Amino acid sequence: MSASGIGTSALLAFQRAIGTTSNNIANSATEGYSRQRTELSNLTPQFLGGSFQGQGVQVDTIRRISDDFVNTQLRNSISDQSNAELKASLAGRIDDLLGSSSSGLTPVLQDFFDAGQDLANDPTSSAARTVFLTEAESLAERFASIDRRIEEQRDIINGQIRTNVEEINSLTDAIAGLNREIVSKSTQGTPNDLLDQRDRVLNQLAEKVNVRITEQDDGAVNVFVGNGQALVLGGNNRELVAESLTGDPRSPDIGLATSGDPVNISRFIQGGELGALLETRTGIIDEAQNTLGRLAISIGAEYNQQNNLGLDLNDELGADIFGIGDPAVRSFPGNSLNAVPDVAFGDTRDLTTSDYRLSYDGSDYQLTRLSDGETTTLNLDGDNVADPVDGLVIDVDGLGGAVDGDEWLIQPTRNGARDLSVEMSDPGGIAAAAAVRADVGGDNAGNASIGSVQAVDATDPDLLADAVVTYDEANQEFSVNGETFALDPDGVTTITANGWEMEIRGTPADGDTFEVSSNEGYPGDNRNMLAMNELSDQRLVGGDRTFGDGYNSLLANVGTRTRQAQVAQESADAQLAQARAQREAVSGVNLDEEAADLIRYQQAYQAAAQVISVSNSLFDSLLGAFRR
C-alpha cells in the first residue's frame, strides 16, 4: 500500500478514536455509562522486495470497559443498601408508635392498675368503681388505637409491595426488550450503549429485589430471584403478582404468574425494597400486632375470670368486665370447601404470638406453628374436637367435606387488641368482694385456724352453698360432702370443694368444724379486688411475663430490630459507596485521561494528514520530473 493509503487508514482510525474520546467526555456525567476505547490493529503487511511492509492501521472495535464481577458486586450492594434503608425507616415508625408516651400503652395500663388499687381501698365507693370502669375503657380504646395505627402501617407496606411488584414487572419487561435488541444487533458489532442501558435497568431492578444474573452466549441475560425463580429468560419475562395466596386478605403474598394459579414465592424473596417490605411486615408488623393482641386477650381473660370469682354490689357472682374476640380463621384459596374449623380459646396463658396453618392430608389434621415450623397432629375426640394446642381448642366437625391438601390459616391473637372491649356498663357489677367466707366452729378445741378461703371455679353450682368441713382425729383427715383430705403434717392443709379452696393451718382436735358460706352482705370486703390487683404482678402472659413485661418485651424487640436495621444501613451505605467507587475506577470516565487521549489522537490525526500531504507532494514531484 502506498504512503497515501497508509496515511488515509491512519486518518480514518484516529478520526474514530477522537470520536470515541469525545463520546466519553460527553457522557462523563451520564449515570451508568461505561467508558469506551477504540481498539486499533495493524493491517496485514504486504511482502515486497524480500520483506514484509506494513499497510497501515484499522479499527477492530469500539470496546466497552466493563467488569462483570464489579457490576455484580455493585448490584448486590445496591440491593443491600435499599433493603437496609427501608427497613430502618419502617422499623423506626413502629418503634416511635409503641414507645411514645402519648400513643403507647404503658401510661394507660398503669392508670388502669392504679384505679384498681383505689377501688380496693374503698370497695363501696361508686366514684372509685366508675373510675375503674372508665380506665378499663381507656385501656381498651388505647389497645384499639395502637392496633389501628399498626394497621395503617400495614396498609402502607401493602401498597408499597404492590407498587414494587408493578415496577419489577416493568423493569423485567424492559430487560427482555433490551435482550432482544442486543441479540439482533450483536451480529453487526457490540452494542455498547444498549449494554449500558441494560446494566442501568438491572441496577434499578436490584433496588427492588436481590437478583442473580447469568449471561447467554448470544449476549442476552437471564434474571433469577430467590432460589432460582426466573423473571427473565432471554427475550421473555415472567410477571409477579401481589395477591393473597395463604388466606390472609390483609397480607398479599408474592406470586410468580403461571398458566394456572400463581406460585407463592414470598419466602424466597430477599434483599431490595421488596425484601425489606416483606421482612418488616412479617418480623415487625405481624409480631407487634400478635404480641399486642395476646396481651389484650390475656388482660381481658384474667380480669374476667377473677371478677367471676367474686360478688358484686348485688351479692351476685361477677360478670365479665371485658369482651374478647375469637381467633381469626380463613380458608386458603383453592380449598375444596369454604367452611372453616371452629377455633376457641382454651387456657389463654398458653397462647403464643405465632400464626398457624391447619392442613388436612386425607386422614389427619396437622397444626403447624408458623413461627418455628413445629407440627402437631391433632388428637380428636368423638365430637371431632381436638385436645388443646398452645391454648387453642379446634373443632373440625364442620369440615366433613375436606379433601387432601385443604388448608386454613389461624391467627389466634392478630385481632386481639382490636376486639378488646368493655362489656360491663354498671360499676356495681365489679366484684370487689370475695364470693365465699369461712368461719371456725364455735366449739372447736384445737388450735387450727383458717389461713384463707377463695373461690376457684365460678361454674360450680354449689359455690355459694353452705358447707361444713369436719376433722376426724382417728383417721387424721378432714371431710366435706363425702370427700376426705388428709391432714398435712407440715401444718397447712388445702381443702377443695364446691368450687372454692380453703387452707387450714395448725392442729385441729377431733370433731372440729370449719364452715364455708356465701359472702353475701359484706359489701366492704375487698379480697377479690386485692386478688384482681395481684394479677398485674403475676406472670400470666405466655406463662412467663407480667402484663407490663409483655408490653416492654414488645418495645425491646422492636427497638432491637430498629437498631439492627440502623447499623445495617450504616454498613450498607459504606459498602455501596465502595462498590460505586470501584465501578467508577474500572468503567467511569476520567476527564484528565480523556483530555490527554484527545490531544494524543489529535496529534496522530495531524501527523497522518501530514503523511498524506507528503505523499501527494512526492507524487507531484514525480509527475513533474516526467514532464521535463
pLDDT at 129 > cutoff 90:
yes
Residue 391 resides in a domain: no
484 shares its domain with 612: no
Query: Sign (positive/negative) of CA torsion 147, 148, 153, 154?
Result: positive
Distance of alpha carbon 568 from alpha carbon 564, whole angstroms: 6
Q: What is the mean pLDDT of residues 27-34?
A: 86
Residue 218 resides in a domain: yes
Residue 28 resides in a domain: yes
Residue 410 resides in a domain: no
Per cent of the chain over pLDDT 90 is 71
Residue 210 resides in a domain: yes
pLDDT at 4 > cutoff 80:
no
Burial of 362 (0-12, 13-18, 19+ CB in 10 A): exposed
Long-range contacts of 299-304 (CB under 8 A, 24+ apart): 299/139, 299/420, 299/547, 300/324, 300/420, 301/345, 301/348, 302/348, 302/535, 302/540, 303/532, 303/535
Among 19-23, 376-380, 446-450, which stretch is predicted with the lowest mean pLDDT? 19-23
Confidence of residue 619 (pLDDT cuts 50, 70, 90): low
509 shares its domain with 614: no
Contact 468, 512 (CB under 8 A): no
pLDDT digits (tens, 9 = 90+) for 273-319: 999 999 999 999 999 999 999 999 999 999 999 999 999 999 999 99
* Higher-confidence position of 171 and 100: 171
Among 31-40, 119-128, 163-172, 472-481, which stretch is predicted with the lowest mean pLDDT? 31-40
What is the count of structural domains for the chain? 3
Residue 312 resides in a domain: no
DSSP 429: G
pLDDT digits (tens, 9 = 90+) for 453-463: 999 999 999 99
11 shares its domain with 59: yes
Query: Sign (positive/negative) of CA torsion 414, 419, 422, 424?
Result: negative
Q: Report helix angle 192-208 to 126-185, nearest 10.
A: 160
Among 92-101, 183-192, 325-334, 473-482, which stretch is predicted with the lowest mean pLDDT? 183-192
Q: What is the mean pLDDT of residues 367-378?
A: 94
Confidence of residue 20 (pLDDT cuts 50, 70, 90): confident
Determine the 3-state secondary structure of 225 from DSSP. Answer: strand
473 shares its domain with 621: no
453 shares its domain with 514: yes
pLDDT digits (tens, 9 = 90+) for 227-266: 888 999 999 999 999 998 888 888 899 999 887 788 889 9
Average pLDDT, the chain: 91
Distance of alpha carbon 578 from alpha carbon 581, whole angstroms: 5
pLDDT at 628 > cutoff 60:
no
243 shares its domain with 95: yes
78 shares its domain with 183: yes
DSSP 590: -
The boundaries of the domain holding residue 43 are 3-64+590-627
Residue 605 resides in a domain: yes
pLDDT at 50 > cutoff 80:
no
**What b-and-e string marks burial along 395-406, b requiring 16 or more CB atoms within 10 Å of the CB?**
bbeebeebeeeb
94 shares its domain with 221: yes
Q: Name the strand (E) or helix (H) holding 197.
A: helix 192-208
Contact 16, 40 (CB under 8 A): no
Confidence of residue 118 (pLDDT cuts 50, 70, 90): very high
In whole angstroms, how far apart are CA 50 and each of 6, 43, 54, 56, 135? 20, 19, 13, 19, 110
155 shares its domain with 256: yes
252 shares its domain with 219: yes
468 shares its domain with 548: no
Residue 384 resides in a domain: no
42 shares its domain with 79: no
* pLDDT at residue 436 in the model: 96
